[in-house]
Copies of this chain bind each other. A is one copy, B any other.
Amino acid sequence: MKRIVQCVPNFSEGRDLDKIEAIVKPLKNQEGFNLVSYEPDKDYNRTVVTLLGDPEAMVQPLLKFMEKVIEHIDMNKQSGEHPRMGALDVLPFIPISNITMDECVEYAKKMGEEIASSLDVPVFLYAEAAQETARKKLPNIRKGEYEGMKEKIKEPKWKPDYGKADTHPTAGVTGVGARMPLIAYNIDLATDDLDVAKRIARYIRGSSGGFKHIQAGPVFLNERNHVQVTMNILNYKQNPIYRIFEVVKMEAKRFGVEVPSSEIVGLIPKETIELSLKYYYACENKAYKAINDMDTLSNEAKTYLKFRDFDQLKIIEANVE
């Protein structure tokens, strides 16, 4: 069984396409993992890269990639709408299949050590890789950003996990972490009343007492002319999709509003679908047997979770041959 990790480095250049090409080049056509996508954002001045495959195979190419990041980005001249503390701002490892979170934490530590020792960029471990509670949440570390980090890193409380307590002169610092895959999930409501979406979002999101790993808000879709509850699911094992979908349906009833469909933005691990199918099959008193055909799996997701605009290529595992 192949080990699959999703690795999502974010670097602080989203405008100069020549530079971006030069930076991602070391990640192209490598053995053991795929460069699934790299998406520059001009407003953010930031590019999000997605790799899928064996983390062991990623280590050396990631170091060569980071050399290019340092070569092409000078943080003293960089600005954009997205908060950032370094040229390679963050590098998270996300367990997808046949690999544990603990193993991803080990890869985060390994990468952190390499980045600090061979490239002289101080590293903070964050999320599941954090060694201190205050470093669990990335925004805590990044507060003050590149500019503020020059002083912040000298405080004993903010000594980096790897490297010296002094920022790299042009690349700042890097956050290396391990975390659960984040599921971007939206539930359609058959109404144009934004207040309904607002109230339901408040009922279910962790910050107002709902499910711990749900971030949720209301949105009106101009093109489709209806509202959605738009969400991030930060831990799909503890807050599986079916539970959120069913609770939203339950709450929508009080407004007399139908819930015709839902949608996934980006990619999801197949386990997110399996956890939900297990629930629906059990409700129908049907045994659940592992579905290995990705097309069948995506069709079942459409049937039970009412995913629209969904196909097997939205399942991470379908992107790794």
Give the B-binding residues of A (Cβ under 8 A).
Answer: 203, 206, 208-213, 235, 238-239, 243, 246-247, 250-251, 253-256, 278-279, 282-283, 285
Alpha-carbon gap, A210 to B213, bound state (A):
8
Chain B neighbourhood of A210, CB < 8 A: 211-212, 238
Given contacts A210-B212, A211-B209, whether A255 and B238 have CB atoms under 8 Å apart is: no
Alpha-carbon gap, A213 to B203, bound state (A):
12
- Given B209, B254, B255, B256, which contacts A239 in the complex, CB threshold below 8 Å? B209
- Given B206, B246, B285, which contacts A256 in the complex, CB threshold below 8 Å? B285
How far apart are A240's CB and chain B's nearest CB, in angstroms? 9
List 14 extra interface pairs beyond A209-B239, A246-B250, A256-B285, CB under 8 A.
Answer: A203-B243, A206-B212, A208-B238, A209-B212, A209-B213, A209-B235, A210-B211, A212-B212, A250-B250, A253-B283, A254-B278, A254-B279, A254-B282, A256-B282
Most buried by B among A208, A209, A213, A239: A209
Chain B neighbourhood of A246, CB < 8 A: 247, 250
Chain B neighbourhood of A238, CB < 8 A: 208-210
A237 to B, closest residue via Cβ: B209
How far apart are A51's CB and chain B's nearest CB, in angstroms? 28
A207 to B, closest residue via Cβ: B212
Alpha-carbon gap, A212 to B206, bound state (A):
7
Alpha-carbon gap, A307 to B69, bound state (A):
63
Chain B neighbourhood of A208, CB < 8 A: 238
Chain B neighbourhood of A203, CB < 8 A: 243
Alpha-carbon gap, A254 to B246, bound state (A):
13
Chain B neighbourhood of A243, CB < 8 A: 203, 247, 250-251
Please list the 5 inter-chain residue pairs (A to B) with the smallest Cβ-Cβ separation, ordered nearest first.
Answer: A209-B238, A254-B282, A209-B212, A253-B283, A246-B250
How far apart are A258's CB and chain B's nearest CB, in angstroms? 13
Alpha-carbon gap, A250 to B55, bound state (A):
39
Alpha-carbon gap, A247 to B240, bound state (A):
13
Chain B neighbourhood of A206, CB < 8 A: 212
Q: Could you give 10 example pairs across A and B, Cβ below 8 Å?
A: A206-B212, A209-B213, A209-B235, A209-B238, A210-B211, A212-B212, A246-B250, A247-B250, A254-B278, A254-B279
